[in-house]
Each structure stands twice: as structure tokens, then as C-alpha cells.
Structure 1
């Protein structure tokens, strides 16, 4: 008996059916049967199902002799099902990766409820993915809470969810005992879902997107003009007959009546569902249903909803449509008003900015920003803190939105993007610091100093190198880019590789500052106690190896798709490992993860990536620039390069990271698991690769990068008098977490026993420090220190 019976009816969905079937069969949870029902489809659906059945014995092909409709096709699948739980999936939709595993885990944790409700996301035909707007109704509650499993009376708000069959798992013995079946006709989910939820003695929820609900441009039932939309009245007759046969459920009558009225209103307002000649009949029948099922003493909705309800009850379809037209016009006016206001406000602010440009610069004011106003972070944050420490009388302001105001330290003024104060500061600040570019509307004044810090050592192509990479450039205006580059007075660089790239792809007359990465200064100053406190704050279980998984963005993908399954990796590695998952800030898949028994922690919302690095015993990444930062900690790094060829072809890279990596490289998820299970992630070869990588990319990161920047840019000290760079061999970065060993001594993570395979990771002897390069010392010859452009600005 399989755990799940996944029932997929198919009728005229041949372009999508293969993807649908694959999404089920390629799940990492394999204890399933897939019952694919060919509803006598005139296209190739039957052949696609048969081909899938030949390839995979878990597929059971069912061919109906005549077209019976979606509901009865599902019934045919139910009759053949043998699984513990039933799931339904329409032939043009797909299961999200890892969904069955998450459903199985949730069912086990909640004691095998009769119904499990999970979430979905709409996938538009353009490729845009939008999660269910009522996802908040699926909150799971605290583990062990009585609210983990409940009856509908305890959480009646679930009736506000979309009433469909495919966002739930149903215990098969419950369905069989109650005799539930789908009726014929459109809206067949209605007389199935309401009775199921009302009858279930145990319901649980899973706060995770498990189904991708395809929104077809044409051909979907809800976008088809047909008299069959009148079937909705027969479906609600079935719902209320069911209610009448169960006196103990009579108290649900008002709620179901409200849902019916809302549903009928949606159909009536849809422009293309009802043929013109069927509209009058629809309203007559809607009025009859309203009068027949309205409970005695039912509350009358307020305002315009009350008028719409009255017109629906009276069957006045022309007046109803006129009212809906008026509502649409009102919404259009309401939507237009902010546009008019925004344009008027922009005009007033433009005049304000022009006036501010005529006023003197404030020599003590420095304005900072990072990551398109997403809070206090990166190199600008480290420099801002050092400015307040070293520059007497300096006043600093940070551009960010209220959502990130909590990230600002005390004493730093917040500037709201686009406000009058924001434009005043941009016009009058002496110093401007950013890791991306400021707004195109800003005018650089004589006397202003603009420091561009960037936000990482470049592996992927940047700037002008994207001219031949349209997938990555995405319509970038390179002329405007160079105009913004011409504002820069200083460009920060962490190593020689970065200097050579920046000066070629961002050509202008700025001065390069080869001073290191200010955001990484903390790695040289943090203590073992700091690491311990960070791990406790993040909830990392004591004694486990914390692996920070930080992948980068894929330009060749329209929407973010996880490159590996963190939950599977965590389960494979066992309780000795904890994964900290931080997707790229362009991505949004982190919050959709499960917990894998508490060994996968979603840290996508954690503000300071440097603190995550300090807490982690190892880094797992692909092509993210975080590897260049993490190398300063001299802790293990693993590269997961499953799509290296595709990434390299789409984005372009400056060198082959798989040929000169900072640590072991995996190409598949199984290879990655093996690297950790065998101890290769922290073995001698890992240490040797990391040593060469550090020598190449971390020459200046000695903990004083921010100080050198502030002294040079803000205090005007000559380059020759700046603090000298500490050689690699003399640096002492923050230690990784340690735990007691059987003999009572403390050992670092690299000396621990791998929990899965019993492999001891013995640290390799320190690699000999590379000879100090002249360019690494600020006291070297002028040709090897600050890089100046020969071309005038």
C-alpha cells in the first residue's frame, strides 16, 4: 500500500501533462502511485499517459470510454486508489519540488489527520509566480499546540480559502467511510470541499506552497464562455442538501450562504463566463437561490455590498452590471489619484532639489546607502561606523525605508528615499557612499566626494562586459551606466583581480583604493564568545556543524528555482549538521522551506551576512561572491556547481571557479552529500585549495580596511601613512565553534568526527604563507599603491 495516491485527470492538456506527471514522479518522496485518468481526451493525453506508465511502474493509466468531466474522472481515480492518502492534481498544474516529503512529514507530526490543507501559488502564463494572498490562514502554530490538529469549528477562517480539491490531502479511509464523490458539471469542487471540511474530525495545515496553479492564457474552464457556468446552482443545491441531512452541522448554514452569495457575485461580475443570452437566466436563478437558502435573521451586509446583494436577490441583472460598472469606474479614479499625486509631488521635489543645489555643501555630512536602500549593510555600514569613530564632528545619514529602520545603529539619521530630506542630503552632503549607484536624478556637485564600494569580488561579468550578455543585462542602458560611473571619485577594491576588472568594465577617472573589504573587518576582531552568542541567537543546536548555504542568482532563469533541496541534504547528513539557508536577495524561496527536524534554519531575513559567516563552521555556495569574504575566516568552503556550464554561458565569468576553487566541488546533490559524509569538505585538500584562494583574493583583509578608507577619503591622510597591511600568516580570524572531545580537550570543527561516516577531519598543517607582495603593502612604491587613471576626468 503506497503512502499517497496522486490522481491526475487529463482532458485537452497535452502541452502541460508531461510537466505535471514529471513533477510527481521526480519528487524525492517516492512512496506513491500516480493514477493518470485519460478522460477520453481528443488530443495526445492518452498517449502521454501510456508512455509515462511504460517508463515508471508507479504510473497507473486509466482510459475512459467517454468524456465524463473532471469530477467523474477523479472518481474513476478514487475507485482505483490504494494509498493511505488521496491527492488531486489537475493535468495542467504541477507539484512543487519536495512537496510530498513535506506533506508526509507534516502528516506524521500531526498524527495522521483526516484532511491536511496546504498552500499553492498561481503561475501566470507569462511565468510570474504569486503565492496565495490568504497564505496567512495556514499558520501552523507552535509545535505541540492543540491547534496543530483541529475541527473546522476551531478555525472557521479556513472557509475563506479557495474551495478546490487539489490543495488538500485526504485520508482514503475517511473518504470511503463518508461516501464522498465528485458530482458532474462545472464547479464540481464546491460540493466536495465544503462537506469534507465540515465532516472532518481532524484537520491540519501545512504552511508551504505545494502546488503551482497554472493560469492559462486560453482554454481554462474559468476563462471559457459557456452555459455550463449555470451548473454552479446545482452544486450549491448539493451542498445545502448535505447540510440538511446533518442536523449537527446546521450552524454552518449562514457561513455557507455567505460563501454562495460571494461565489455567485464573482461569476456575475466576470466579463466572459456567461453568454449574453444566459445572463438573465443566471440572475433569475441567483435570486431564487438567495431567497431559498437565506437563513432567517441573516445579517445584511453594509454599504454597496448590501445593494449588490439586494440586486442579486431580485435578479436585476442589468442594474447589477451597471453597479459593477460604476464600481470599476470608481476604482479607476481611485487608482489614478495616486498617480496624479505622485507626479505633482515629484514636480515639487524637483524644484526643492534645485534650490538645495544652490546652497553651500555641508562639510560634516556623509550620506550612505546599500543594496537599493535595503538597510544598514555591507561595506558602507562598516565605513559609516568607522567614520563615527574616527572623524570628529561628522554627521552621518542612511537612506533606507521604514521596513529596515531597525537595522540602523543609534545616532544614525534615517533618510526616506524620495523625501524632501533625502533630496536635501544628496544636494548638500560632502560625502556620498554607496555599494550600488544613487538615483539617476542626482546631480554630482563640485566639491562632493563619491565613494563607490561595490559589493563583492567579481566572479561573474559586470558593467560593460554585459553588453554581449543580454540575459544578464536585461535592457541595461550602458550610456546611463557610464554617466553614473563618471560621478565616482573613489572605487574600492579588495584585490588585484577586482582592481583590473573594475577599471576595465567601469572606465572613468576615479581613483582605485586597494584597501580590502571593510565588511570583513569583523572577521579579524570577533572572539570565540561572539561566535557562541551568534550561534545561540540563530538557534543553532550545540555541538552541530553549522553550514551556511548561500547560493547566487541565476540570470538565465525567469524565476528563482532552488538548486538543491536543503531538507534532503540535512536528513542525509544527520543530526550532526545544521544548514543555515540564505537565498540571494533577488530570490524568495527561502520562506517556503520546511524544517527537516530543526536542522534547516531559514536565515533569509537575517540582516547581517557577516554575522551568519561568523556563526557558520563551513560555507556551501555556488558562484556567489560571499566565498571571497568567507575565505578570510579560513574555514572550509564547498562549491556546488551543478549548472556551471549554463551559468557560465548565460552570465559569463572571469575565471573557472571549478578549476581554481576555494574548496571541494560537487556537481550533483549526491556528490555534495558524499563530500560532507566522508569528511572531504574539511580535509587536507580542502585546506590547500583554501590557502591558495586566500593568497590570491584576500591580500588586504586584515581587519583595518574600513580604517584605511576613512583615513584616506574622509580625513585626507596620504596613502603612505595609512596602517600597513598585516600579512596573511600573522592574521588571527575569529575561531570556528568548538566542542568538547572525549579526552576533554576542545577541538575546532575541522577536527570533529563526521557524524554519518565516522570520518575524522584532521586539520591540515598550515600552508606556508606566500611571500608578501609589494602591492599588499601601503609603503610600497607609488606604482604599486593607489591606482590612478591617466585619462583626465
Structure 2
């Protein structure tokens, strides 16, 4: 029955009907100074929308601010006394079409007609390493050809009134790849204000204690991205863990804890029962910034997380076991991957372990005297703890 209902919801007839209902409600009087926030299609309370929301609350803005959230994370909003409506519920349909502002970090569903009175603030969610939309040579995503994917995306981006950019490098790519010709706010990312302000021993210790993380252990964060060609259906991807946890535990189990953080697109879980006490799956932890702060080292691949993590000036390892496939077939890169990433590129778990030992136990800072200087100057120069303030002033003052 659930499968039948799920399929029914995706039919063109149902989408057309819901779009008509949405449009009809949008004709009612606008709710002045109302803002609908959403992060990763209602899956989290996180990222740039969270930073903007919390800044506005702290500064005492009188706007009526409500979050759009999936039912499975409702308890988090209730626990923290954050106003929300369940995504696609009756309450959501009564609020979203009449809101004066939408602030989100990912695309809204294609069937939603944006009301004329709504200002749509697209914060996006990363500095691009891998090619985006119109810059992609091939598209390997479920249920979409390259032409259809680009058309649908550009139709969505035509609705945006503002687009937030973390740096000039991203601005140029966003405008071209997203076909965006309206207002780009090159302010830095609001979510990184947290990293700038909280990067101190006292706050890091407090976060570790709240999460139950042992203070005496070194923390390794593994945050890989998704692969376009490894999917169940559109928007749902699988991930095969290529990092040998047995080998990691054998070599690092006494001194380290590995935190696993999968991309929100990845729908399958990784069985780590046999590594209890050594590997912790924090894929569902709402705020990755907390995981950045408590970690001593980042392992990633083609995810944009390393652009944010660079603000902490901590070591990074790029575990790119499928580099040739990803670079030449799936996506391709904007950067020269061999020379521009701020850390060693490796393809085996043995190499990962060797670099962990080098960075964490032999206290080698990086590949040079200051491996982050040029990288931070190019990509993180706007991250000064005031990005949220700049965004809010541009839009609301």
C-alpha cells in the first residue's frame, strides 16, 4: 500500500493538482514579514538557513520565522522549541504559498509555482569542486537525461531572487552553471560563522562532552560524497564503504575514534556493529559543523566539505580510490585536483593510515610549511564570522 501511495504521489496528475492548490492559496493575501526556512529538502536543521535563522533570532528580528521539516525530524524541532510545519502537510500548504520569503539551501520541488510576492533566497550548500549542471559533460543520475536535468535545474534557478556565494571563484561558476543572472550575494557562507567563533578549547570540549566523545582520543572524521551512478532511484543513492575499517582499527584503535558522516543523498546505512567504540555513525547528526570542530583530521574525497574544514587549518586526507572514473566519466573537476587540494591524495587504506600517523602522531602540519595559506586566501577569505550579518542586511535592511 505504501509503495502504491508513493507511486501515486509522483504521477503527473497528482503533481498538477497539488501545484494548482498551491497556486490558488498563493492568491490569498501575503503574510507580511514571514519566512519559510528549509535545509536539504526538509531533512535537517542545519547549514546556511540555520545560521541565518539563528542570527535573526539573536538580533531580535520581528519576522515570523517557520521551518519546513520532514516528519522524521520533527522531534528535534520540538525539543529545541523551533517553530516548524511538516513538509507538504496542510499547515505547510497554508503557509508556504503566502510566505514573503523562502530561505533554503537546495532546490524546491519542480511542481511548486513560486508566488510573485515571494522572495526566494537560495543559499546553496558548498564551494564547487565537481562540475555542476550546465558544466557537466555527462549526467548519470537516475531518471534524467543531461538535457532534462539542465532544463529542470535552470527552470528552478530562474525562480531565485538571491543566491549566496562563499567566494568569487564560486560566484563565477554559479552564474554560468546555474544560468543565474539576478543578485549574487558574495558574503561568505553563514554556516561557517560557527567555525570561526567556536574554534576554541572550551567550546570543543563542551561539544565532545555533550556527544559523549572521549576527550583523550584523536577524532578522525570520514565524510565522503555520493556517486552519481550508484543509485536506487532519483534522489536516493547507495554507498559502498571502501575504507578498510578492520585495518584502521588494527593500527589506530587504541588512540583514535572514527566518525562516519555520509552525504544526505545516501539512503543505505553502513553496518558498523563490529566496530563499536571505534567507529561512530553520525550521518544523521544535524550539524556537521560540530563534527568539524571536534575532529583532529578530515578524510574526504570529492565532497565540498574540505572548503569549510580548511577554516580550521587542520590536516586533511583525500581518499580518492576511484579518481579516474570520477574525474573522466562521472563529473570532472573545476580545480587541478593534484595541485589544488590542501592535502595528500591517496587510493588505499594503507596510505590513509600512513598519513594519519604523519599528521596526528608525528605532528607534521601538511605538505609544506603553510599548506593552507594560498588555499584560504582563494576560497575562505570572506569567512570572518560575519557572513550571516552581511546576508541579513542585504535582504532585510
- The TM-score range, normalised by the shorter chain, is 0.7 to 0.9
CA–CA separation in structure 2 for the residues paired with 1:452 and 1:335 = 33
The answer as to whether partners of 1:641 and 1:658 remain within 8 angstroms in 2 is no
CA 604–681 in structure 1, closer or farther in 2 if over 3 Å, else same: farther
Structure 1: stretches of 5+ with no match in the other structure: 1-330, 716-793
CA 570–681 in structure 1, closer or farther in 2 if over 3 Å, else same: farther
Q: Measure how far apart 1:347 and its partner are.
A: 7.9
The answer as to whether partners of 1:663 and 1:681 remain within 8 angstroms in 2 is no
**2:88 is equivalent to residue 434 of structure 1:** no
CA–CA separation in structure 1 for the residues paired with 2:278 and 2:23 = 55
Q: 2:367 is matched with which residue?
A: 685
Provide the secondary structure at the position in 1 that maps to 2:41: helix
1:697 to 371, 379, 387: 379
Q: 1:389 is matched with which residue?
A: 58
2:44 to 375, 379, 388: 375
Taking CA–CA contacts closer than 8 Å with sequence separation of 6 or more, which of the two structures ends up with the larger relative contact order?
2
Q: 2:235 is matched with which residue?
A: none
Q: 1:176 is matched with which residue?
A: none
CA–CA separation in structure 2 for the residues paired with 1:547 and 1:445 = 45
**2:239 is equivalent to residue 563 of structure 1:** no
Q: Measure how far apart 1:686 and its partner are.
A: 5.6
**2:171 is equivalent to residue 489 of structure 1:** no
Equivalence map 1:150-165=2 (5 Å): none
CA–CA separation in structure 2 for the residues paired with 1:345 and 1:443 = 14
Which whole-Å deviations, capped at 9, do the CAs of 1:380-411 have from their partners, x for residues lacking one?
11111122233532111111112111333755
Equivalence map 1:276-355=2 (5 Å): 339=8, 352-355=21-24
The answer as to whether partners of 1:472 and 1:651 remain within 8 angstroms in 2 is no
Q: TM-score, normalised by structure 1?
A: 0.45
The answer as to whether partners of 1:379 and 1:455 remain within 8 angstroms in 2 is yes
Q: Measure how far apart 1:548 and its partner are.
A: 0.5
CA 372–687 in structure 1, closer or farther in 2 if over 3 Å, else same: farther
Structure 2: stretches of 5+ with no match in the other structure: 232-237
Q: 1:612 is matched with which residue?
A: 291
The answer as to whether partners of 2:241 and 2:270 remain within 8 angstroms in 1 is no
Q: 2:217 is matched with which residue?
A: 544
Q: Measure how far apart 1:609 and its partner are.
A: 0.6
The answer as to whether partners of 1:642 and 1:666 remain within 8 angstroms in 2 is yes
Over the aligned positions, Cα root-mean-square deviation in angstroms equals 2.8
Provide the secondary structure at the position in 2 that maps to 1:471: coil
Q: Measure how far apart 1:460 and its partner are.
A: 0.6
Equivalence map 1:31-42=2 (5 Å): none
CA–CA separation in structure 1 for the residues paired with 2:208 and 2:368 = 24
Q: Tell me which structure has the larger Cα radius of gyration.
A: 1
The answer as to whether partners of 2:194 and 2:385 remain within 8 angstroms in 1 is yes
2:394 to 712, 728, 732: 712
Which whole-Å deviations, capped at 9, do the CAs of 1:256-290 have from their partners, x for residues lacking one?
xxxxxxxxxxxxxxxxxxxxxxxxxxxxxxxxxxx
Provide the secondary structure at the position in 2 that maps to 1:628: helix
Q: Measure how far apart 1:700 and its partner are.
A: 0.7
Count of aligned pairs: 382
The answer as to whether partners of 1:380 and 1:453 remain within 8 angstroms in 2 is yes
Equivalence map 1:157-556=2 (5 Å): 339=8, 352-390=21-59, 392-408=61-77, 410=80, 412-466=82-136, 468-472=137-141, 475=144, 476-526=148-198, 527-556=200-229
CA 533–337 in structure 1, closer or farther in 2 if over 3 Å, else same: closer
CA–CA separation in structure 2 for the residues paired with 1:365 and 1:356 = 15
CA 661–479 in structure 1, closer or farther in 2 if over 3 Å, else same: closer
CA 672–391 in structure 1, closer or farther in 2 if over 3 Å, else same: same
Which whole-Å deviations, capped at 9, do the CAs of 1:490-536 have from their partners, x for residues lacking one?
11111111111101101133111111111111112214222112222
**2:256 is equivalent to residue 577 of structure 1:** yes
